[in-house]
Every structure is written in structure tokens, then in C-alpha cells.
Amino acid sequence: MRDICSTRNEHSQVDLMRLFAVFIFQLAMTWPCLRAAADYGAADTLHQTRSGKMVAPVIDIMPQLRVFHDLKAIEREISELKALGFQRVYFVLCNPGYPSFASPRLSVMPLYPDLRNDMLRSILCLGDPNWVYAKEAKRQGLEAWAIIKPYESGTGNTIPHNRHAALSLAHVPTVGGQHIGFDELLSANPQPAGEKETPFGEGGGMPV
């Protein structure tokens, strides 16, 4: 049987360029959150830009795994961040139901016909990617913070109350119907909900 954790380079240059573009987009989208981090937690672990802004990188774990990741790949990613001078890293966690939240087709279907999707293979190799990323960051001396987005899913929709979506693991009741393709973490477990405001909004980030 073929070794599922093979580190052979099976990914085209196009795949890597698109992954890099996704990473840059994620960084741009989370920029306000990163700027607010200077007022929350230990600011001395943040990186200061030439203009004086305090920033730290964010790794959105689920989309990262679309390109095959083993332990060596994660080690290289964290090493690159450390080499850039960062001392803190934020991880957008894979919530319950990962690798693709409540939409299992996302773990095997590519976004585009010529783009690979090795998310499921990455999960089988790593086990719990949240734990692996956090452990590697700490091993290399970086402070690791978790960002939890309870209803995160890029393919969420709303359907009528009397309908059923076979590929959605959760049907979250809402005004006018049901949310599908979303994780039901918060509705099923309201106790972790944030009780105070932080620079990240209710709940915010948390050190791991």
C-alpha cells in the first residue's frame, strides 16, 4: 500500500501559487484583527512594522491542508514565520466536523478542475492538525493563539424549514429556514460563547 505520508512532490507549481494567493488573501482579511491584538495579551510577542503597527501572522488551517501537509511541511511553515521575526502566530482552528466542517464534500472536491485537494489525505497523515500546528509553534518558541469561528464554512446556505440537505451534517434553525453547510458548535454548546467584548469581538482569540 502506498505510504499516505509520502513527502514526494506531487503538486504542480500552479497549486503552490494559488495556495500562496489564498494565504495573502487571508492575511489581508484578518488585518484589523491583527492590529487590535496589540491591546490584548502580551504585545511584546507581536511584530512591529516600519510604520509602527503591531502584527502577527494568521494560518487558516483548513484551506492550508488542501495542499498535502505532513509534519515536515508544517515544520517548514513555522520555521519561515520564525525566520521573518515573528514571535506569535494565530491559528484559525478546524472546528468539530473537520476537515471541512459540516460540508464533507469540501475535503475531496477541488475548487477548480486543475487544482488538487489533498485535505483528507493531510488529515489522515496528521491526525489532529490543530494539535500538530500548536505543538510545532511552541516547539520552535512561538506563542500560539487560537481563533474559533463557530459557524465557519465557505459554502453555507439557508433552506426552508421543511427541506433536508443530504450532504450537510448540520441543519441549524434560523429565522426563515435552516443554515446548511455550517458547523453547529455554538447552537449545540452555548456555554463557550463569549461573555465579554475583546478586540476580536465576543469570544475573541485564546492562547493555546
* Residues 51-60: tens digit of each pLDDT: 777 788 999 8
| pLDDT confidence bin for 70, thresholds 50/70/90 | very high
CA 93, CA 134: separation in Å to the nearest integer? 10
Highest mean pLDDT among 54-58, 67-71, 109-113: 67-71
Q: Predicted confidence band at 208 (pLDDT cuts at 50, 70, 90)?
A: very low
Q: What confidence score (pLDDT) does residue 80 get?
A: 95
DSSP string of 104-140, one letter each residue: GGGGTS-SSTTS---HHHHHHHHS-HHHHHHHHHHHT
Instruction: State mean pLDDT over 106-126.
Output: 74
Question: Mean of the pLDDT values across residues 141-148?
Answer: 90
Computed from CA positions of residues 101, 102, 103, 107, in that sequence, does the dihedral angle turn out positive or negative? positive
**C-alpha cell of 30?**
484578518
The pLDDT value recorded for residue 75 is 97
Please return the burial class of 37, using the count of CB atoms within 10 Å of its CB with bins 0-12, 13-18 and 19+: buried
Distance in angstroms (rounded) separating the CA atoms of residues 116 and 137: 27
Is the pLDDT reported for residue 202 higher than 50?
no
Per-residue pLDDT band at 77 (split at 50, 70, 90): very high
More confident residue, 20 or 46: 46
- Model confidence at 175, pLDDT cuts 50, 70, 90, reads confident
* Residue 42 near residue 143 (C-beta atoms within 8 A): yes
Q: Which of 10-14, 71-75, 90-94 has the lowest mean pLDDT?
A: 10-14
Is pTM beyond 0.95 here? no
Q: Is the pLDDT of residue 143 over 50?
A: yes
Report residue 194's pLDDT band, with 50, 70 and 90 as the boundaries.
low
Higher pLDDT, 64 or 54: 64
